[in-house]
Amino acid sequence: KFASTGNETCFHDRHIDPQIYADLNGSNWSIKDYEARGGYVALRKLLGKDGGEGLTQDQVIATMKESGLRGRGGAGFPTGLKWSFMPRQFPGQKHLVCNSDEGEPGTCKDRDILMFNPHIVIEGMIIAAYAMGISIGYNYIHGEIFEVYDRFEAALEEARAAGFLGDNIMGSSFSFQLHAHHGFGAYICGEETALLESLEGKKGQPRFKPPFPASFGLYGKPTTINNTETFAAVPWIIRNGGQAYLECGKPNNGGTKIFSVSGDVNLPGNYEVPMGTPFSKLLELAGGVRTGRKLKAVIPGGSSSPVLPADVIMECTMDYDSISKAGSMLGSGAVIVMDDSRDMVESLLRLSYFYSHESCGQCTPCREGTGWLWRVVNRIQHGEGRPEDIELLDSVSVNIMGRTICALGDAAAMPVRAMIKHFRHEFEAKIQNASKQAA
Ligand code: L3W
Ligand code: SF4
């Protein structure tokens, strides 16, 4: 059994090589090709058109709950449950938002979905809007990917022309307007409330939660936000049923997931595999560790997730439960593979700089702490480390965690603690070397 996000030519348990990219730059993304692959069949089923049975809002939400689909943006929150938070009877405008502000280091899946299969996201959003009684939606697309934004706009035009978007969709009483919005490239705008601020035309800074967007979202109105890959899974689920999707993965971890495998592998790329696939199998699909080298460590879920040493990750399966039991997070599914030539202090320096640079500056522990972490790692890496620096890094990390408005603070601190926990000897060696040189 294998569920696909629908793009059989693209994400089917195999590497996307440059030739496939070249082919897909042709017309495979268009509405004609999408419909030839079974696209918009779920919408017809939903609206009771062309022999479809017609589904109620409750039936759609029940199917989503049954599927076990969990948010693919990083937190893994159950999608059906999130949809059930949306108030049915609300006297004002409700909103649906797709979070395509993909900026997590290592993550590159959403841009490929939008580039090569944009209609699957559009169809997923239409179904979500129907289920929650929403008439306006936005797709917030990361600012640095211009061709992806253009592609999505082109797909929206096709969907409108086909009568799948707009007033009285396919002659029904259901209307839904969907718009694309281009961000400006700030990582923090991927945090859902910063995204909403940015969409409202303000500085993209996270809000305090609660209230969650489900009750106070865009323009202060109830809003449901899901990740691009989450919406992309919806048409298959509606076509084939929640149980079928659940069975593709494992209990509590339904369906398939796209993993962006990067770093020291022979065939880096996006791979869609069933949840619960052994890490070793994913590594094999990605061509194995760079020829002649051995696996040292893996960051399993994007740069915010703690690093795991080779012996730990080799025992894991790729799903939320297994990775969190091992002490990390599945996150957005960006698998960064490091071989035995990697210098862990240098790797941490890159990560620390990223978080320090991307902090929005609202909370003191994050604004000051991320810069502090970066400066301490920087001096260790450049031969000026002090004997107390390892304890200092730990103490700064502990004082950031849980004391900030959004998860960026934790995301900056957790990798530091994990690197020290698993590779302390590399930090100590550099510090001892610095002490010897000073003497
Ligand atoms: C109503 C409640 N809604 C939770 C909703 C909430 C959100 C979702 C999950 O962070 C993580 C972060 C990054 N009533 C609710 C409720 N919700 N309780 O459920 O919420 P939360 O707070 O657990 O997570 P989040 O703020 O969405 C996301 C991590 O993902 N991450 C980042 C990935 C980055 C990308 C990217 O660049 N594309 O995906 C990777 O690990 O650190 O921990 O919708 O409103 N009681
Ligand atoms: Fe901004 Fe950092 Fe505070 Fe998040 S944790 S709101 S990024 S300062």
- Closest ligand 2 atom to residue 370 Cα is 2
pLDDT at 29: 93
Looking at every residue in the chain, the average pLDDT score rounds to 93
Question: What's the gap in Å between 192 CA and the centre of ligand 1?
Answer: 7
Bridge partner residues of 136 (DSSP): 95, 177
Q: What is the mean pLDDT of residues 217-232?
A: 98
Tell the residue nearest (CA) to atom 21 of ligand 1: 75
Confidence of residue 7 (pLDDT cuts 50, 70, 90): very low
H helices, E strands: number in the chain? 18, 11
73 within 8 A of 332, measured Cβ to Cβ: yes
pLDDT bin (cut points 50, 70, 90) of residue 9 is very low
- Residue identified by tokens 């007033």 is 167
Q: Is 206's C-beta closer than 6 angstroms to any atom of ligand 2?
A: yes
* Closest ligand to the CA of 140: 1
Task: Ligand 1, residue 406: give the atom nearest the CA.
Answer: 26
Q: Is the pLDDT of residue 101 over 60?
A: yes
Contact 305, 33 (CB under 8 A): no
Of the pLDDT bands very low, low, confident and very high (cuts 50, 70, 90), residue 10 is very low
Query: Could you give the CA distance from residue 420 to residue 400 in angstroms, rounded to a whole number?
Result: 16
pLDDT of res. 16: 43
Res. 12: pLDDT tops 50: no
For residue 357, how far is its CA from the centre of ligand 2 (angstroms)?
A: 11
Report pLDDT for 25: 55
Q: Say whether pLDDT at 13 is over 80.
A: no
**Could you report the per-residue pLDDT of 107-147, keeping only the tens digit for each?**
999 999 999 999 999 999 999 999 999 999 999 999 999 99
Distance (Å) from CA 360 to ligand 2 centroid? 5
Q: Any idea which ligand is nearest the CA of 333?
A: 1
How many angstroms separate the CA atoms of 168 and 175, rounded? 5
Residue 149: per-residue pLDDT: 95
Residue 431: what residue type? I
Angle at 163 between CA 162 and CA 167, to 5 degrees: 155
Establish whether residue 183 lines the binding site of ligand 1, counting it when its CB lies within 6 angstroms of any ligand atom: no
Q: What pLDDT is recorded for position 8?
A: 39
- Nearest ligand to the CA of 401 is 2
Of 2, 10, 20, 14, nearest to 281 by C-alpha is 14
- What pLDDT does residue 438 have? 81
Reported confidence tier of residue 435, pLDDT bands at 50, 70, 90: confident
**Does 10 or 378 have the greater pLDDT score?**
378
Of all protein residues, the one whose alpha carbon is nearest to atom 22 of ligand 1 is 75
Ligand 2 centre to CA of 293 (Å) is 38
State residue 316's pLDDT score. Answer: 98
Q: In this structure, what are the phi and psi dihedrals at residue 403, rounded to the nearest 5 degrees?
A: -120, 25
Q: Is the CB of 401 under 6 A from ligand 1?
A: no
Which of the four pLDDT bands, split at 50, 70 and 90, describes residue 17?
very low
pLDDT digits (tens, 9 = 90+) for 152-182: 999 999 999 999 999 999 999 999 999 999 9
Q: Is the pLDDT of residue 80 over 70?
A: yes
pLDDT reading at 24 higher than 80: no
The SS3 of residue 301 is coil
pTM for this model (two decimals): 0.93
Atom of ligand 1 nearest to the CA of 408: 42
Q: Identify the bridge partners of residue 166 per DSSP, sorted by sequence position.
A: 176
Amino acid at the residue 390: I
Q: Is the CB of 123 under 6 A from ligand 1?
A: no
Q: To the nearest 5 percent, what fractions of the chain are helix, strand and coil? A: 45, 15, 40
